[in-house]
Amino acid sequence: MAPSSLIGAVRERRRRKSASPGARFWARRGRIRHESHEAARDRMRVLFVCLGNICRSPTAEVVFRAIAAREARDLVIDTDSAGTAGYHIGAAPDARSQQAARRRGYDMSALRARVVAPEDFERFDLILAMDRENLTVLRRRAPRERQDRIRLFLEFAPDLGTSEVPDPYYGGPNGFEEVLDLVEGAARALVAHLRRERQAQPV
């Protein structure tokens, strides 16, 4: 699936799901949150993934959420983050990541690490890996029919000159600043891409 077809693909999946007998049953049971037809059709669910879910992916989650809320209020986006390994399940983001984020106005303190679950491949429309190693792990775990949802985060920002967000865990404080620089640039590029795509879709 080409990047330009993201929202169109989401709309089609929403249409099929809402038309299924199971969806109608749960709607009658009151288990589906009611929202406008347009909002439901265009809602995007984005998952950011790194190794342990305590540095890069939670940074991407909070930064993307903040930039989308500030610069693209017309978009309806749910965000989350997870890791491919269970080293830090239930832990708060790395203190160094939190400190660097706070200096730029982002609060990560409420987040807790988790591992990518099998249902994430169904739930999320876009699963964005921080580097190729995690991209490979995700593609190995994902069902064949969900492979097109998995991409590198930085592919949406080719002007950054790199395709991976480096792991800052074993480095110095500059590594966490570099992560923020890359994530902020990629988040803005992704938001802009989704806005252009939404505007190009028929109403």
165: left (phi over 0), alpha (psi -120 to 50) or beta: beta
Point out the catalytic residue in the list 94, 120, 125, 167. Answer: 167
57: left (phi over 0), alpha (psi -120 to 50) or beta: alpha
Torsions phi, psi for 143 (to 5 deg) = -60, 155
Point out the catalytic residue in the list 11, 41, 55, 56. Answer: 56
Strand blocks (E) in the chain: 44-50, 77-83, 126-129, 150-152
Point out the catalytic residue in the list 42, 50, 149, 188. Answer: 50
Judge whether 50 counts as a catalytic residue: yes
Number of H helices, E strands in the chain: 8, 4
Q: Measured between alpha carbons, how far apart are the two ends of the chain, in Å?
A: 21
Judge whether 56 counts as a catalytic residue: yes
Measured CA to CA, the distance from residue 44 to residue 21 in angstroms comes to: 23
Judge whether 198 counts as a catalytic residue: no
Among all residues, which ones are annotated catalytic? 50, 56, 167
